[in-house]
Structure 1
Amino acid sequence: MTVDTDPMPPSGLDLRALVSRLARRTPTRTEADVQADVRDLLLHGGLNLAAEDLTVQLEAQVGDRRRIDVETGFTVIEVKKDLRAGTVLAEAVEQLAGYVAERTKRLNQRYVGVLTDGADWRCYHLRVDEELEEVAHHVVDPAQPDPDRLCVWLEAILATEAQIRPTPQEIDRRIGADSPGHALERAGLRDLWSLAREAPEARLKRRLWARLLTTAFGSQFADDD
């Protein structure tokens, strides 16, 4: 079973055409155009989201007068017209870091940041030092748009689908080593370890586990983080 991204969902929206339009970076389009298309993708891309699950006002108020372009669950999405232009990418990452840090502090809950111009999709994790780290990257080819692949990538971040048949393919696509979901959890675990690694109990348990794994795997086991 895959994410249900029929190119023509019940709404009549052509998802392949939508994803292609998003990825073309047409010079005449506005950021509002990109936001609207991203919203349609989230609603009609088989991600188990309804209109009430999305905050796209357009742009949700964060606090200190900053605004989020799109927010759903524990994910904020910052939309730009073209991330390749000048310093747009660097400035957008800085802006997104503020959004994610504010949400994380306010709700005491991990928030994920996604930055996109429709063609370039980047997923960010907020480290314990409050710096954003890019953990996953997906690029859409406007000439060969693949809405299913993009929506699976997004779903691995949003985790909104339910009752997914646990086939090897689906497990690999959603939480496999190359998925954004896996990258986010790995980054989170790394941060937890960075906070606990100097604790005597944690150091002792790590040494014990290292010995057990070395016994089991021999020289193939690398005793590092």
Structure 2
Amino acid sequence: METSIVGVGVGITDRFRSVVEDKAARIEHLAPRAQRVDVKITHRAYHNGRVEDDTVELTLTGKGPIVRAEATDGDKFTALDLAVDKLCEQLRRAKDKRVDARNHPRGAKLDKGSGAIQGIDVQPASVDVLRAVATGEIPIVTGNEEEEGYTPVVIRTKEFDPEWMSVEEAVDRMELVGHDFFLFVNVQNDHPSVVYRRKGWDYGVISLTTLAAPEAVAS
């Protein structure tokens, strides 16, 4: 498996490269079909340099979905260990789900009359929850509130090409990238949707009633 290491604001030492190679062998054992792991380490200093930390981002590519994980710590080696642990845990969870799917085949089924989803541990968010989020009763925590100069007006945006998939496939993709939510277009009804993590293996799904237009994307 090929390994690439990039440093932003920090030099890459031979010792760090050696540790990355050892960790890559552990990752390859869990993901033998992986072809490449990209390691990005970013050094940041806050409050006039009095507080510093390193963020390690891992991106695993190969035959199948991309798997990502990241961690931050005052020591870059500790951050690397934490990121590798997260990545390996995501790989194990994905493997367990594949084994469970083979042993207990199931599929998600949508009851168009009631809107209920059967065959997967996913439940639509209630109207009360959606209203509470919209009105601010349930705050959205970004994790950056303590950063110097932080303001909630600054919004980070990302754009992706739409992907049509089932709810179950979206949950699997969310687990692999290590996020708490995943945006997709539901193949069952062409509705833009998002699955999100609740507790443990419990998930939720929110869909827009607006239909996605495949022909518009193709053009």
**Counting helix residues as a fraction of each chain, which structure ranks higher?**
1
Q: Which has the higher contact order (CA 8 A, sep 6+)?
A: 1
Q: TM-score, normalised by structure 1?
A: 0.29
Q: TM-score, normalised by structure 2?
A: 0.29
**Counting strand residues as a fraction of each chain, which structure ranks higher?**
2
